Amino acid sequence: MRIIPTSAVLLVAALALTGCAASSSAGTGGPIRVVASTNVFGDIVKQIGGSAVAVTSLIEDPSQDPHSFEADGQVQLALSKAQVVIENGGGYDDFVDTLLKGASNKKATVLNAATISGLNQHPSAGEFNEHLWYDFPVMTKVAEKIEASLSALDASKKSTFAANTAAFVDKLATLEASEATIKSAHKGEGVAITEPVPLYLLEASGLVNATPAKFSEAVEEGTDVSPLVLRQTLALFTEHTVKLLVYNEQTDGPETEQVLAAAKKAKIAIVPVTETLPAGKSYVSWMTANLAAISAALG
């Protein structure tokens, strides 16, 4: 789960002062104003909305740790004027709801990927992996909700939104086909992770996460890894239990560094992934590159 930074909370009072007046500007013409919690969702909106949308992505610097987001005045302004807000949900970006509430912008359509996915409806099923953008069927559902929301705000461009969505979903189908190709060649092979960021993609590719759950949970939450769990994790490489290490290069720490060193020493293939779009990449090109890197690493 993510902790809302103090700086985000402090903006709520200011948002409340400006939100009511700003939100009344919705529907005055021009592009549809969209705020996305990260540039992942921001890019998907652009693929569907094209020139009919003006998108602000709150987290877009690939070197920025999404877990430590700090809001500023530009965030205040964007959320107060937003007609559509897209968040991941599932505890990943709760600061969006906090700031939006402070803005008193009740007119904005809020799309929550976790809710749309339907995967967050059964807590008894186990720990929820909030990194939904690595799940292509879920992104198909999100794209369809984006299309419906944009069409409701600008019916004159409904056919354009529909065509753009169909083209985007076709690209997602190609990504799913790449997963199936990996699965046909490597089903059941073990992999290790530092965090559950790419887990949906790895599982859809038929790969088995062999990492002790307590290790990846501790790394994600920024807590200490017990010596026993660390030894169990390092043994995955010394004993060649896994063929691949996939790690989140946007966060690091002593345990992660030890795991990387162990994988290198054992000559286990290593593939870095990120939580936000790398510079110069679209969502599809980013995921295409991730799948190509995993396929090549598995040999």
> Residue 213 belongs to a domain with what CATH number?
3.40.50.1980
**Given this model, what pLDDT does residue 17 score?**
35
User: Of 153, 174, 195, which residue constitutes the final position of a domain?
Assistant: 174
Domain of 26?
6-174
Residue 252 is assigned to a structural domain of this protein? yes
Q: What is the 3-state secondary structure (H, E, C) of 77-146?
A: HHHHHCCEEEECCCCCCCHHHHHHHHHCCCCCEEEEHHHHHCCCCCHHHCCCCCCHHHCHHHHHHHHHHH
Token pair of 101 as six digits: 């509430």
Same domain, 266 and 129: no
Give per-residue pLDDT as tens, 101-144: 888 888 999 999 999 999 865 544 567 899 999 999 999 999 99
- Do residue 169 and residue 192 come from a single domain? no
Residue ending a domain, among 122, 148, 174, is: 174
Distance in angstroms (rounded) separating the CA atoms of residues 246 and 262: 13
pLDDT band at 221 (very low <50, low <70, confident <90, very high): confident
Confidence grade of residue 72 (pLDDT, cut at 50, 70, 90): confident
Contact between 42 and 92 under an 8 Å Cβ cutoff? The reply is no
Same domain? For 154 and 194 the reply is: no
Clarify whether residues 36 and 120 are in a common domain. Answer: yes
Domain count along the chain? 2
Q: Read off the tokens for 211.
A: 């990492």
Tokens of 14: 């200011």
Boundary (domain end) residue, out of 131, 147, 174: 174
Same domain, 155 and 262: no
Mean confidence (pLDDT) of the chain = 88
Q: Do 156 and 197 have their domain in common?
A: no
Identify the three-state secondary structure at position 62: coil
Let me know whether 258 and 148 are in one domain.
Answer: no
CA distances from 60 to 56, 66, 121, 144 (A): 9, 9, 28, 23
Q: State mean pLDDT over 158-178.
A: 98
Residue 1 domain-assigned? no
- The reported pLDDT for the residue numbered 122 is 52
Domain assignment of residue 206, yes or no: yes
181, part of any domain: no
Whole-prediction pTM value?
0.88
Please identify which residue in the block is written with the tokens 């004993």.
239
pLDDT at residue 16 in the model: 39
Q: Are 54 and 153 members of one domain?
A: yes
